[in-house]
Amino acid sequence: MPIAGVVIYTQPQKSMEVLEQLKQIDNVTTYGVHKGNNIIAVFEGKTSRELEQLSDRISREVPGVLGIFPAYVNFELDEENAADTESDGN
Amino acid sequence: MALKRREFLKASAAAAAAASIGVTLMPGMEKTVFADSTTWHKSVCRFCGTGCGVMIGEKNGKVVSVKGDLENTINKGHLCVKGFYLHKVVYAKTRLLHPMIKKNGKWERVSWDEALDYVAKKFNEIRKQYGPDALAFYGSGQAETEETYMANKLFKGCIGTNNMEGNPRLCMASAVGGYLTSLGKDEPAGTYADIEKAELFLLVGSNTAESHPIIFERIMRHKNKNPDVKIVIIDPRKTPTDQVADLHLFPRPGWDLAILHAMARIIIKEGYADEEFIKNHVNFRDNEKALTFEEYKQFLEKYTPEYAAKVSGVSPDEIVKAARMFGQAKTAMSMWTMGLNQRTRGVWANNLVTNLHLLTGKIGVPGSDSFSLTGQPNACGGVREGGGLCHLLPAHRLVKNPKHRAEVAKVWGVPVENIQPKPGKHTIAMFTALNKGEIKGIYIMCTNPAQSLPNASKYWKGLKEQFVVVAESFFPTATTEYADVVLPAAFWAEKEGVYGCTERRSQYMEKVIDPQGEARWDAWILRDLAIRMGFKKEFEKYKTAEDIWNEYISLTKGTDMDLSGATYRRLKKVRGLTWPVPSEDHPGTYKRYTKGDPVFDALPEEKKKGRRMYFYGKPDGKAIVWARPDKGPEEPTDAEYPLALSTGRVLEHWHTRTMTGTVPELNRAVPKAYVEINPEDAKKMGIADKDQVIVETRRGKLKIEARVIDRPKPGTIFIPWHWEEWMANILTIDAFDPGSKEPEYKVCAARLRKA
């Protein structure tokens, strides 16, 4: 269950639209728009992969997102680490 | 219980993200939220050269979390997407855990004693039979300064060969050559602090958004806050950096020198030059002789916008527009990376960017600088500053300078005769000599040349035939395939040491956990090897990492890169120091060559009179504006090979994937290499997206998936170079810049057909 606290930086004037779209996405909890065009959000997933997929999906699919910057990432309950079930993907 | 923990971690994550932009989400709760059993340790990100501060969370002897270091002035609490995976690399299944020797073609686990005795015996035999120059060291801009320092002393000072190189030769050497020839000393005059003061950014050959995301974030935030800030890009390829660009010039790969000259011409003709600055701070030269300003202007007459347009493929109007934007901005910051450096005229390209700053006086003042971005986390610190190249000694010293050799030999405690006066073999020459059998033994530390060298397959012969020792954290790699001995090296978080990043900032990293398996710190592996080779007196004195650092910074005292005030005691507390930092009460230096730089401040008043800058690496303190010819690439396109091939990075991977390849998520995000083809070219060739195609150059061919996309301009193709399975470097050319010896990875001629 890795969890990441991120700052989602948006184009000016687009922050509220982005915030509303983020609210519709599973495993994303938002904490409002701050200091102009910064959205505070927490990403959750069963694995780090899911965090990355969330980040990638938001960057690609939500218009107005300029960048997603993790500030805190906790992996202590990462199921992938615990179960050690995944191959290295090569 | 799990739910409670999860809610707690969510609150921690939200609070940390909020804190990174100076917002308090839960007033009065911060202390509670972070009153966890996690212990936080100060470190630096292991990936690119930005130097982001990372706090590593450790619990019960394991790395369990990371956060951006709020106190770090570079990233101010933020990380890029690679932060999701930093911990996974530490615990990768491909970590090398034990020393191994290849016996009868098979790897056999051995003890450290057996491995190091074997290497010491082989190296001593080679040295005795063939001389010291039959041995070589090949290091890395990812190694810590202390590690490179130990290798430097062992090979140059004790074994007695200058055959010591590092992979920064492949990425930063042209920037070094550019700074030395233009300004007189290596590394930038300014720092990242200029970003928030700049009115214009000129990004040349740099996909900043993907390769340096935190620097890109700072540029984006600055521009959004100040809409008049402009961004001009010169790059053959459209990248995510374009999302904030005001103007993008798309030159044919390798043909941009004429554009930079044309910009200089327009700047002078339209009155944007700072005549007063030029008069007091600048000399002019071509490749043979000194020029007057008038002669330089004559030289530029050839570079009309129309001429530059014809050479580069960019429209004359856009060249004029870029020049005017640069000229009109009160302050300007240029940034570049491999697109300029990895060229057979990389030094010249660097010179021509710096010319624009010298002509307009946009240097040495807040918001203005000619600023090379670094690719690796310690290319500047360990290799450029530490002297880890074949012509260098620590602290910007040169092997050819007898005074420098004497100073270093004294501190190393070795006879001065041990240090040869002639530079050793640069990287391409070194691996050529390995092929020829002139070098018979090589120690490779923290790098993967079998994949990262240009025209890579040409150099596998030498790796296969000679005695190869690889000290690595990961196994297997393309290079360990050819090794005779592999030595497991401690990785990030498992060792302490110092990284020096792009902006002259040296930062201390704590050891957080014990190394995996039997891995050891590279500096101690080298110490142990040196003692077994017979250099006990020279190496047994180092008991701690701090011992090594202290000796190194003693060598910097009184130099242009004085680090003698950057002691471990101090570095453990602060978020790095930008040299020169000559004493423990010195705050570090923001701008070089001007007031506030201790080297400038110490100059006699008569030298500084009438000058706001004094380029003290030049005899008269004047920087040089260079009139260089506008030479194109070594291998231009032709009828037989009509496409220009360029290589580079993607956000999700880094270098040869020895680290990022261990992270399943990153592999799945970008699972394989591809070749980008412009839709116009694809249509002509009948190629559809995801078709298998053959890309061929004069050196090799590669079967690879096509990605039809409008990122490369027509006539050019692009392949990310990270994969061993789709090794782009069997295609690239190993021609190199005659000055910097840096190879031309960024452009060669290719052809492409459907598989």
Distance between CA atoms of residues B492 and B473, nearest Å:
9
- Are B24 and B106 within one domain? no
Q: Do A9 and B77 touch (CB under 8 A)?
A: no
**pLDDT confidence of residue B721:** 78
DSSP B130-174: H-GGGEEEEE-TTS-HHHHHHHHIIIIIII----EEEGGGGTTHH
- pLDDT tens string A1-54: 789 999 999 998 899 999 999 999 999 999 999 998 999 999 998 887 788 888
Per-residue three-class SS string for A52-84: HHHHHHHHHHCCCEEEEEEEEEECCCCHHHHHC
Of the candidates A29, A40, A67, the beta carbon closest to that of B220 is on A67
Last residue of some domain: B519, B536, B553? B536
How far, in Å, are B345, B463, B473, B634, B744 from residue B738 at the CA level?
Answer: 8, 25, 34, 12, 11
Query: Where does the pLDDT of residue B590 fall: very low under 50, low under 70, confident under 90, or very high at 90 and above?
Result: very high
- pLDDT tens string B230-277: 999 999 999 889 988 999 999 999 999 999 999 999 999 999 999 999
**pLDDT confidence of residue B652:** 60
Residue B501 bears catalytic tag = no
| Catalytic hit among B142, B342, B376, B451 | B376
**pLDDT confidence of residue B651:** 63
Side-chain-side CA neighbours of residue B36 (13 Å): 22
- Residues of A numbered 53-72 whose beta carbons fall under 8 angstroms of chain B's beta carbons: which are they? 53, 55-56, 66-72
Q: At residue B483, what is the residue type?
A: A
- Are B436 and B491 within one domain? yes
Task: Give the mutation candidate from A1, A10, A49, A74 for the B interface (greatest B CB count, under 10 A).
Answer: A74
How far, in Å, are A44, B156, B377, B394, B566 from residue B149 at the CA level?
Answer: 43, 10, 16, 8, 16
Q: What average pLDDT does this structure show over B322-329?
A: 98
Query: Residue B383 has which token pair?
Result: 């290799």
Distance from CA of A87 to the nearest CA of B (A): 7
- Are B230 and B134 within one domain? no
- Are B122 and B178 within one domain? no
Neighboring chain B residues of A72 at a CB cutoff of 8 Å? 12-13, 16-17, 65-68
**pLDDT confidence of residue A85:** 30
- pLDDT tens string A44-61: 988 877 888 888 889 888
Neighboring chain B residues of A57 at a CB cutoff of 8 Å? none
- Are B32 and B110 within one domain? no
Neighboring chain B residues of A67 at a CB cutoff of 8 Å? 213, 216-217, 220
Per-residue three-class SS string for B543-580: CCHHHHHHHHHHHHCCCCCCCCCCCHHHHCCCCCEECC
ipTM for the whole complex: 0.91
**pLDDT confidence of residue B393:** 98
Strand order, beta sheet including A28-34:
A28-34, A38-44, A3-10, A65-74, B62-68, B53-59, B39-44
B597 in a domain, yes or no?
Answer: no
- Are B11 and B81 within one domain? yes
B563 in a domain, yes or no?
Answer: no
| CATH assignment at residue B77 | 2.20.25.90
Measured in degrees and rounded to the nearest 5, phi and psi for residue B454 equal: -70, 150
Query: Where does the pLDDT of residue B665 fall: very low under 50, low under 70, confident under 90, or very high at 90 and above?
Result: low
**pLDDT confidence of residue B75:** 96
Please state, for a pLDDT cut of 70, what percent of chain B lies above it. 95
Judged by a CB distance cut-off of 8 A, whether residue B224 touches chain A is: yes
- Are B457 and B506 within one domain? yes
- Residues of B numbered 60-89 whose beta carbons fall under 8 angstroms of chain A's beta carbons: which are they? 63-68, 77-81, 83-88
Judged by a CB distance cut-off of 8 A, whether residue B10 touches chain A is: yes
- pLDDT tens string B462-490: 999 999 999 999 999 999 999 999 999 99
B694 in a domain, yes or no?
Answer: yes
Strand order, beta sheet including B332-336:
B247-249, B230-234, B200-204, B332-336, B369-372
B514: which residues sit within 8 A by CB, 6+ positions away?
B61, B494
| Catalytic hit among B164, B171, B325, B445 | B171
Neighboring chain B residues of A49 at a CB cutoff of 8 Å? 664-665, 668
- Are B314 and B238 within one domain? yes
B399 in a domain, yes or no?
Answer: no
Residue B172 bears catalytic tag = yes
- Are B200 and B137 within one domain? no
Lowest mean pLDDT among B138-147, B467-476, B577-586, B668-677: B668-677
Mean pLDDT of chain B: 94
DSSP B36-79: SSPEEEEEE-SSSTT--EEEEEEETTEEEEEEE-TT-TTTTT--
- pLDDT tens string B331-385: 999 999 999 999 999 999 999 999 999 999 999 999 999 999 998 999 999 999 9
pLDDT at A86 over 80: no
- Are B448 and B314 within one domain? no
Residue B325 bears catalytic tag = no
Query: Residue B657 has which token pair?
Result: 């994937």
- pTM metric for this prediction: 0.94
Distance between CA atoms of residues B499 and B446, nearest Å:
14
List, in order of start, the domains of chain A with CATH numbers. Answer: 3-83 (3.30.70.920)
Distance between CA atoms of residues B681 and B426, nearest Å:
38
**pLDDT confidence of residue B31:** 57
Residue B82 bears catalytic tag = yes
Last residue of some domain: B501, B536, B571? B536
B397 in a domain, yes or no?
Answer: no
Distance between CA atoms of residues B679 and B21, nearest Å:
41
Three-class SS of residue B728? Answer: helix
pLDDT at A81 over 80: no
DSSP A2-57: -EEEEEEEE-TT-HHHHHHHHHTSTTEEEEEEETTTEEEEEEE-SSHHHHHHHHHH
Distance between CA atoms of residues B99 and B117, nearest Å:
12
B564 in a domain, yes or no?
Answer: no
**pLDDT confidence of residue B668:** 62
Q: Do B21 and A75 touch (CB under 8 A)?
A: no
Judged by a CB distance cut-off of 8 A, whether residue A85 touches chain B is: no
B605: which residues sit within 8 A by CB, 6+ positions away?
none
**pLDDT confidence of residue A89:** 24
A45: which residues sit within 8 A by CB, 6+ positions away?
A1, A2, A27, A51, A53, A54
Q: Do B81 and A74 touch (CB under 8 A)?
A: no
Q: What is the CA radius of gyration of chain A?
A: 14
Of the candidates B2, B22, B65, the beta carbon closest to that of A73 is on B65
B560 in a domain, yes or no?
Answer: no
Distance between CA atoms of residues B636 and B99, nearest Å:
46
Last residue of some domain: B339, B372, B405? B372
Query: Residue B665 has which token pair?
Result: 């998520």
Q: Do A48 and B84 touch (CB under 8 A)?
A: yes
Count structural domains, chain B: 4
Neighboring chain A residues of B244 at a CB cutoff of 8 Å? 66
User: Which chain B residue lies closest to A55 (C-alpha atoms)?
Assistant: B81
B523 in a domain, yes or no?
Answer: yes
Query: Where does the pLDDT of residue A83 fall: very low under 50, low under 70, confident under 90, or very high at 90 and above?
Result: very low
- Are B199 and B346 within one domain? yes
- Are B205 and B354 within one domain? yes
Distance between CA atoms of residues B605 and B317, nearest Å:
46
- Residue B97 and residue B519 in contact, taking contact as beta carbons nearer than 8 Å: yes
pLDDT at B88 over 90: no
| CATH assignment at residue B701 | 2.40.40.20
Q: Which domain holds residue B216?
A: 173-372
**pLDDT confidence of residue B139:** 97
| CATH assignment at residue B281 | 3.40.228.10
- Residue B207 and residue B649 in contact, taking contact as beta carbons nearer than 8 Å: yes
Residue B80 bears catalytic tag = no
User: Which chain A residue lies closest to B53 (C-alpha atoms)?
Assistant: A71
B366: which residues sit within 8 A by CB, 6+ positions away?
B193, B194, B197, B331, B591
B271: which residues sit within 8 A by CB, 6+ positions away?
none
| CATH assignment at residue B526 | 3.40.50.740
